[in-house]
Amino acid sequence: MPFAATVLTLYPDMFPGPLGHSLSGRALEKEIWSLETVQIRDFAADKHRSVDDTPAGGGAGMVLRPDILAKAIDHASPVSDNRPRLLMSPRGRPLDQAYVRRLSEGPGAVIVCGRFEGVDERVIEARNLIEVSIGDYVLSGGELGAMVLLDAVVRILPGVMGNRESGESESFETGLLEHPQYTRPQDFEGKAIPEILTSGDHGRIAAWRKARAEEITRARRPDLYRSYREEEE
């Protein structure tokens, strides 16, 4: 079964967008994953098809109505659907490679994209939405977040990266940032490729890469380095 993504949005035309290109685009064509969009506005009841209203208690902006969103969710993901239901949200659990991998091993995901000031709290509870954040900054809508999440998930689906070990040595997969990479030419503006990489000695190359990965992680991300060390012990 392909990984089935359903995205609920006010801007379905944004999709597949970048996901239609390169690795994820080819995987979409090969039906390794599928992408369906649902226009939330189609579930609005009034003749103006409005989906939002002013925040209770006052304040700036507009809030997505829970009744309309619930109808859209129930249409896109009936009770028999065993895919997780996610809500892109700056308050959510920070997206990381471990969660990406977990999602990639499941049947797919239903992803709700917020807009305006966000969504009514009651629909989050009533439909068990798992809030997911792509970082500590505020976007104007959940669509770019959904694309980031799907791009990360799709690239590690079996068959997508083809002839390689599904990114297992890449940043975060080992708990470390990746070692530096080099390719031809051998001399670039007077700088050579580290000699060891052209030695053909796979044992020494692996040891060199691990040492560089540790060094870089320690310098740039002491938080990751600390958990890596704890894991090692």
> Which residues sit in the known binding site?
114, 134-139
What residues does 131 pair with on adjacent strands?
A: 87
Among 56, 60, 79, 138, binds ligand SAH (CB under 6 A): 138
Residue 114 is a binding residue for ligand SAH (CB under 6 A): yes
Residue 157's closest CA among 64, 26, 49?
26
Among 32, 139, 193, 205, binds ligand SAH (CB under 6 A): 139
**Contact residues for 85 (Cβ-Cβ < 8 A; gap 6+):** 73, 77, 109, 110, 112, 127, 128, 129, 130
Helix or strand (DSSP H, E) at 35: strand 33-39
Query: Token pair for residue 141?
Result: 């809508």
Residue 118 is a binding residue for ligand SAH (CB under 6 A): yes
Among 88, 100, 156, 177, binds ligand SAH (CB under 6 A): 88
Q: Is the dihedral of CA 42, 83, 20, 145 positive or negative?
A: positive
Pick the stretch among 2-10, 16-24, 73-81, 128-136 that binds ligand SAH (CB under 6 A).
128-136
Residue 9 is a binding residue for ligand SAH (CB under 6 A): no
User: What is the 8-class DSSP label of residue 198?
Assistant: G
Pick the stretch among 39-47, 50-58, 129-137, 158-166 that binds ligand SAH (CB under 6 A).
129-137
Which residue, 2 or 141, has its beta carbon nearer to ligand SAH? Answer: 141
Q: What letter represents residue 200's amino acid?
A: G
Residue 124 is a binding residue for ligand SAH (CB under 6 A): no
Residue 39's closest CA among 78, 87, 71?
71
Q: Which chain residues interact with ligand SAH by CB under 6 A?
A: 88-91, 113-115, 117-118, 133-135, 137-139, 141-142, 145
